[in-house]
Amino acid sequence: MWVKICGNTSLDDCLLAAELGADAIGFVFAAGKRTVTAAQVAPITEQLPHQVEKIGVFTSGNLAEMLDVVQEAGLTGVQVHSAPDYRLLEQLRAYFGDAGGRCSVIQVLPWYVDAPAVLQADVLRRQLEELARDGSADALLIDSRTQSAAGGTGMTFDWNAAREVFAAVDYRMIAAGGLTPENVSVAIETLRPWGVDISSGVEVSPGKKEPAKLEAFLRRAKETVQ
């Protein structure tokens, strides 16, 4: 199980997550409670183990701006929260080249928790099929969203309604949104994703991780049988 710990703001939290077995560390470059700059992240990434992926989260679809941050911050990949732009994904894929098993390009797709689950499942299925045919992204991440919040909601989406959608696409699928140490095993057993992504569920405050929650989440995510 690939596990990404997102919304990091300090070296200590990142080092602890890596020590506990996180596969990827995420940094948010979009406006919000956990926003960081490339200058803040660069001294962190250079001290993280080579095998740990360093992922930047972006809502802007501006390729030049994204790559400037990638280079300055020492990132190994990006997580794109804007609507799927196949040309952008193709350009990112060309930049990062063969990922070699890594997740250099992650496309995020929303599950609107304030919309009918059946409708969301149909919309998501069509998007996943198109992205799978394109193949530019290394993984597809499904995140809870509302009409007013584009991520970081702390809310779970309807895992039962999404189960068949996850299973229908032969792609690396990552589940996010409202995950906690207490519910991650159920999420994995229900959705059978390739990976999981968490931020607020292991925090004491925005951007500050709680060591006990971090340890529990990583242990349970890694131990749960899909």
Supply the CATH number for residue 117's domain: 3.20.20.70
Cα Rg of the chain (Å, integer): 16
Residue 174: domain span: 2-223
- The model's pLDDT over 126-167, given as tens digits with 9 standing for 90+, comes to 999 999 899 999 999 999 987 665 555 678 999 999 999 999
Question: Above 80 in pLDDT, residue 120?
Answer: yes
Give the pLDDT confidence score for residue 145 in this predicted structure. Answer: 83
Give residue 94's pLDDT: 95
- Residue 124 to residues 168, 191, 199, Cα–Cα distance (Å): 11, 14, 23
pLDDT at 98: 79
CA distance 112 to 134: 24
Helix 159-168 to helix 184-191 angle (10° resolution) is 40
Encoding tokens for residue 138?
A: 């290394």
Q: Which two tokens stand for residue 21?
A: 């077995």
Using one digit for the tens of pLDDT, what is the confidence trace for 91-110?
999 999 977 778 999 999 99
Give pLDDT, residue 152: 57
> Where would I find the beta strands (DSSP E) of the chain?
2-5, 24-28, 53-58, 77-80, 105-112, 139-145, 173-176, 195-198, 203-205, 208-209
Per this entry, what is the length of the chain?
226
Q: What percent of the chain has pLDDT over 90?
A: 83
Residues 45-95 pLDDT 10s: 999 999 999 999 999 889 999 999 999 999 999 999 999 999 999 999 999
> What's the domain count of the chain?
1
